[in-house]
Structure 1
Amino acid sequence: MPKCTDGAVRFGKVGRRVVEAAFDGGDIVSDGGSLLLRQVDERIGLTRMAAAALGDPRRKASVRHDLRSLLAQRVYGLCCGWEDVTDHNTLRHDLAVQTAVGRDEALASAPTLSRLETSATMAHAVALNRVLLEQFIASRDGAPVELVLDIDATHVPLHGQQEGAHFHAHYDNYCYLPLYVFCGQDMLACVLRPSWRDPASVLSALVKLIARRLRQAWPEVKLIVRGDSGFCRSKALRRFEAWGIDYLIGLQKNVALEWRSAIAMQALAEAYEATGTKQRLIGEFTYAARSWPRERRVIARLEHSAQGANPRFVVTSLQGDATELYERLYCARGEAENRIKEAQLDLFGRRASCSRFAANQMRLLLAALAYTLMINLRRLGLAGTELERACTATIRVKLLKFGAAVLRNTRRVRLFLASHHPLKDVFLSAARALAP
């Protein structure tokens, strides 16, 4: 590597002026918008609730950084794009981040934050999942009539000797398979699982715990579970019916289902040959797989195009028009995939590089807390602005990642922000909306 110095670097001239740059500007930070995260956190009490749920077994007389500060530092760092704990060896001296966390001294170092993750247990995972659910309940203004719970799984690739690593042929990699539960934009739970386990292995137990708490808060709420064919298991369907939970779940294609729809598919194929345009039909019938104790309603979406036949099947306990249920309700589950991308890619939920399984579960949940913070920033601070529908990465780049000079003395901390920032009106609007 070249030897770096603190001297000025010249960039030629602009007119008669010499252009120079040097790293001697003093307390200039790159995360000038991080104070918005503090306001959202104070508003919803996220990191305080998480710290209370985890508990702190450390000897208090020897503790320099309380658990709430550690969680806030790590979660705010993820929101601002700092995915690794090693980033905090430098970031701990950033005055804007110190102020956001609520400290006026150096924050925790990377080893301290690493111990927070590596000391995690599965009991901590249960506690933080409970925090996610309580945050969702607190975010609702009144009792909802109906809630749709989106169940989806994805993979977290592994590149080391992590505990529980297993090769998955579908993803052609060693990986974990975390299970997510969303309701709209809100994440209600995320559970890390080894890839050798059935995708639906913890589905019914997780839904039962969530449904029990939701019905404690709102006894009359109607619950609907929505998911793809990877979660269609006879045991899960029986339990949902016993618990009074409706479902709309994809059904894997098989010979029996294709035989039931063979006449309609042949008609669509002939119509396509005659017109040259894609043909589509939605119908329904009753069907019972060999493992089912009785017949259930199945909605069939049949298509024929240049690529050939493309049938899809969905099993449901819901009443109503089949077309409406498929197009309006079932197809909307794709939005949960966008939310998973935010949590995993924009907020670094895929960085499972710890050797212990429980530590990687903690990392997944820290990303989930960061996701919860960001969607509440969007919901509470950005409503009515041009960023009200922006994804996490866009909000970070346009509203959190901008330079500021910081002046801190005994009386105040003041951030000098760029006078010509393109979105200063959005920033000011969010700050006022989030004010105590």
Structure 2
Amino acid sequence: MALGKVGRRVIEAAFDGGDLASDGGVVLLRQVDERIGLTRAAARVFEDGRRQASVTHSVRDMLAQRVYALCCGWEDVSDHNVLRRDLALQTAVGRVDDLASGPTLSRLETAATPAHAAALNGVLVEQFIAGHARVPKELVLDIDATHVPLHGEQERAHFHSYYDNYCYLPLYVFCGQDLLACVLRPSSRDPASVLSALVKLLVQRLRQTWPGVRVIVRADSGFCRPQALRRFERWGVDYVIGLQKNSALLQRVALAELYLADAYKDSATKQRLIGEFSYGAKTWGRERRVVARLEHDARGANPRFIVTSLTGHAEVLYERLYCARGEAENRIKEAQLDLFGRRASCHKYHANQLRLLLAALAYTLMIKLRCLGLQGTELAQACSATIRIRLLKIGAAIVRNTRRVRLFLASHHPLQHVFEAAARALASP
């Protein structure tokens, strides 16, 4: 290919460089995976119904191949028809021959069952527990739903008027930056329909390891259901959940709203007030503590309400605890966009659930790379997309013989020191 000139020199290019890879940093993912045992744990719970005498690619190798590729930015199964011969990916997976092809990986996805989904969610919880060297005193579970747009004839596809599209509505549970569960749901179901059951399973497992831990559920108003609140109280789980505004709530804060409106009219500056009162809807059976955040600016009044079982100052509960749930939305974007959790292009519903979980495993691997290998570097707070571009997408020439595999990484890569620091950190016990 002729690409112009530099002075008198002609620029030419061709894809004949030999055993070169664009993802030389994938070997760091192998180190993280070996350290935490993520794909091996996932493979152990993934029942393999194939005739073992005819198996060439183990479930563990296929899961590692798929997860590592997602981390490196290869979201489609069809990419593996070429990637299977990539020496860097082969080395990371632990093979010296061709990896699984696209059709083979597709058969893995279409063989997924609800039991696989439950078991892989269990792997996420076990990874979270194993990552704590000390017993935590308090865990805040952030629960939120998002949408996965559909553009085909996928099973259980329904039109959702809010998103104006056919979609799924997966439910995510985070604790800090750690992903504990992701459950695919049809968009025809209430977002809170599996909330209680999911929280119960998680709390039981967490308290099995840490009996005295305090668990707080944090969510927006889409998950405020009387049955869930009653169950949380019965299970000893605290909560701080958004409350949809209604005429009764607005009436309780009407005088405060008038005061803020007058103050804004006099000062022309945004007015804000946080207070609390007891409130009980007819379906609640009793009154509960409600915190109100009132604001008034050029756009008018903007009241927000939360219901909580917690004690403490109302302003602290709202600003420091409830508002912090916005960080979970950033983590969802990372799993959905950076690691391709929205690629629900399989026809079968449970195959799409597996794809969601593969993205969750990739997210977990990238988070562990950041925590275990990148502390103290300029990538210590980087998102998955930044880590991929700056640390994994490194050009490398690969030489493989009977004694060793050598990766000749790009000499002028600007973050050599970060790569070396991560390799040393991940190699230490």
Secondary structure of the 1:301 match is strand
TM-score by length of 2: 0.99
Q: Deviations over 1:306-352 (max 9, x none)?
A: 01000000000000000001000000000000000010000110011
Partner of 2:343: 351
1:237 to 221, 229, 232: 229
1:371 to 363, 372, 394: 363
Counterpart mapping for 1:3-402 below 5 A: 9-402=1-394
Q: Deviations over 1:358-397 (max 9, x none)?
A: 1110000000000000000011011110001111000000
Aligned mates of 1:46, 1:183 — CA distance in 2: 18
Secondary structure of the 1:223 match is strand
Aligned mates of 1:17, 1:171 — CA distance in 2: 54
Between the aligned residues of both structures, percent identity stands at 75
Q: Deviations over 1:29-67 (max 9, x none)?
A: 010100000000000000000000112222211100011
Task: Report deviation, 1:23.
Answer: 1.8
Aligned mates of 2:247, 2:110 — CA distance in 1: 49
Segments of 5+ residues of structure 2 without an aligned counterpart are: none
Q: Deviations over 1:99-145 (max 9, x none)?
A: 00000000000000000100100110000000000000000111100
Q: Deviations over 1:194-222 (max 9, x none)?
A: 00100000000000000000000100100
Q: Deviations over 1:289-317 (max 9, x none)?
A: 11011000000000000010000000000
Secondary structure of the 2:143 match is strand
The amino acid that maps onto 2:343 is R
Secondary structure of the 1:434 match is helix
Secondary structure of the 2:427 match is coil
Aligned mates of 1:122, 1:287 — CA distance in 2: 40
RMSD of equivalent CA atoms = 0.8
Q: Deviations over 1:242-290 (max 9, x none)?
A: 0000000000000000000000110000000000000000000000011
Aligned mates of 2:15, 2:66 — CA distance in 1: 26
Segments of 5+ residues of structure 1 without an aligned counterpart are: 1-8
Secondary structure of the 1:390 match is coil
The amino acid that maps onto 2:184 is L
Task: Report deviation, 1:419.
Answer: 1.4
Task: Report deviation, 1:10.
Answer: 3.4
Secondary structure of the 1:213 match is helix
Aligned mates of 1:162, 1:136 — CA distance in 2: 32
Aligned mates of 1:419, 1:89 — CA distance in 2: 29
Partner of 1:404: 396
TM-score by length of 1: 0.97
Partner of 1:429: 421
Task: Report deviation, 1:12.
Answer: 4.0
Aligned mates of 1:225, 1:202 — CA distance in 2: 14
